[in-house]
Chains A and B, each alone.
Chain A
Amino acid sequence: MDKQQKLVAALENGSVIDHIPTDKLFTVAQLLELEKCTEPVLIGNNLESQIMGKKGIIKIAGKFFTEAEISKLAVLCPNIRLTVIRNYEVAEKREVILPEKLTNIVKCANPVCITNNEPMKTVFYRMDKDTLKCRYCGKEQNLKDIKLK
């Protein structure tokens, strides 16, 4: 067992987010509001990765993500990997894929879109791997410029 696996195995129950692009790590930490978390949290950055060169990793004890949180993660960094640990074992491994429809996750960049002027949920559709389209104003937006709600 190498060191990284040991660290993962050390979680009794919780989640591991792996393959985070190094420049996105702290944005992800912010998104997950880790500063409010009272359980143990491990954050690693610039770790070696065969796939990405360098990567970030976050491990949170006692945390299981909701679908809405996973969707937000998917918008922020579409290729991260999520591992759920239960009883010291890997219970589930999933690739975080951008869903076809995002409800109330993303903010529309168009200031004259109704969603920015009315207390309502936003809806976006995935057009391709890095483009979303607002259901209401129809404007297409690139994932790299997207802001979360």
Chain B
Amino acid sequence: MENRSIVSIAEYGKEKIQYLLDMATEFEAHPNRQLLKGKVVATLFFEPSTRTRLSFETAANRLGARVIGFTDPKVTSSSKGETLKDTIKMVSNYADVIVMRHKLEGAALYASEVTDVPIINAGDGSNLHPSQTMLDLYSIYKTQGTLNNLNIYMVGDLKYGRTVHSLLMSMRKYNPTFHFIAPKELEMPDEYKLYCKQNNIKYIEQQDFTEDTIADADILYMTRVQRERFTDLMEYERVKDAYILKADMLGKAKENMKILHPLPRVNEIEYDVDESKHAYYFEQAQNGLYAREALICDVLGITLDQIKNDNTIID
């Protein structure tokens, strides 16, 4: 059987992305089903991540699967020196799908090579986080009605923020125009700017973040500017408040504009923005449930047709 693991979705074409978006749409209409009755989903969190784990476990539970796993590597045999390979081999005897989070880059790809059980990458270090990208794409698609020809503004830490890098790569076929708004120290790395050039993706770089500079945005993708990312702390003190979104900056925003954020936020979106019709970050997190239901079904070989004709729906 071919390995259906999802390690990265950066290389997915339009057709596959649309297929997964259509799946997620079905799950949003009917999230509770018994499609995975009798299946066991393992969630192996070698690195803690409460938000992602709860979202995956909820997705598995709402589809009728049972969940096993661990939330902290300290309580597992990897703390006794067991290799990743051995842990994956062992769990492969028990589970039908393995959702894993690991602090090391490439861990999910390696895991997918040592087992026939499909792996879903729930984040490997600062490398990839495809389920986050999928929920971002679903949120954009749902709020804009399309992924095509959008003005996407990315704000904050564009250097280390893996969510913005993955989103950028996944949007390459949809003719986006990106605006990168970041302090000098945290600007978009050259390799991603090169990627844009190679794929004919339009981008504009700027450091100003004002009511006027964001007036043309369809999507405002906010990220956290973290103190520990700066080598020059004076620079941090200078810019830390420059990338905070306030409600009074939304006066000129387009009607359809939505604000996304991978969460958790600290202070980069002021709480008064939560009341705005443009705020979408909590719904975005909820979309994660439907996106993850789609990913789990896809790796298990359950098709969109089966989901559409599913008679296990619980109302």
**Do A and B originate from a single complex?**
yes
- A interface residue numbers (CB < 8 A to B): 110, 112-115, 117-120, 134-140
Interface residues of B in 76-132 (CB under 8 A from A): 83-85, 102-107, 109-110, 124-127
Do A136 and B103 have beta carbons less than 8 Å apart? no
- Given contacts A112-B104, A136-B109, A137-B106, 5 further A-B pairs with CB under 8 A are A112-B126, A113-B104, A118-B84, A118-B104, A136-B106
From A114, A120, A139, residue with most partner B Cβ within 10 Å: A114
Do B106 and A119 have beta carbons less than 8 Å apart? no
**Cα(A117)–Cα(B125), bound, Å:** 13
Do A120 and B103 have beta carbons less than 8 Å apart? no
B191 contacts A by Cβ under 8 Å? yes
**Cα(A72)–Cα(B109), bound, Å:** 25
* A114-B83 in contact given A137-B127, A138-B127, A140-B191 (Cβ < 8 Å): no
Q: Closest residue to A136 on the B side, CB-wise?
A: B106
Residues from chain B with a CB closer than 8 A to the CB of A110 are: 105
Do A114 and B107 have beta carbons less than 8 Å apart? yes
**Cα(A120)–Cα(B103), bound, Å:** 17
Do A137 and B105 have beta carbons less than 8 Å apart? yes
- B interface residue numbers (CB < 8 A to A): 83-85, 102-107, 109-110, 124-127, 191
Do A114 and B84 have beta carbons less than 8 Å apart? yes
Residues from chain A with a CB closer than 8 A to the CB of B191 are: 140
Q: How far is the CB of A114 from chain B (nearest CB, A)?
A: 4
Q: Closest residue to A137 on the B side, CB-wise?
A: B105
Do B85 and A114 have beta carbons less than 8 Å apart? no
Q: Closest residue to B124 on the A side, CB-wise?
A: A114
**Cα(A138)–Cα(B165), bound, Å:** 13
Do B85 and A112 have beta carbons less than 8 Å apart? no
* A112-B125 in contact given A118-B83, A137-B105, A140-B191 (Cβ < 8 Å): yes
**Cα(A117)–Cα(B106), bound, Å:** 11
* A135-B105 in contact given A114-B84, A120-B85, A140-B191 (Cβ < 8 Å): no
Do A135 and B109 have beta carbons less than 8 Å apart? yes
**Cα(A18)–Cα(B124), bound, Å:** 44
* A112-B105 in contact given A118-B110, A136-B110, A137-B127 (Cβ < 8 Å): yes
Do A134 and B83 have beta carbons less than 8 Å apart? no
> Of the candidates B104, B109, B127, which one forms a contact with A117 in the assembled complex, judged by CB atoms under 8 Å apart?
B104
Residues from chain B with a CB closer than 8 A to the CB of A135 are: 106, 109
Q: Closest residue to A120 on the B side, CB-wise?
A: B110
Residues from chain A with a CB closer than 8 A to the CB of B105 are: 110, 112-114, 136-139
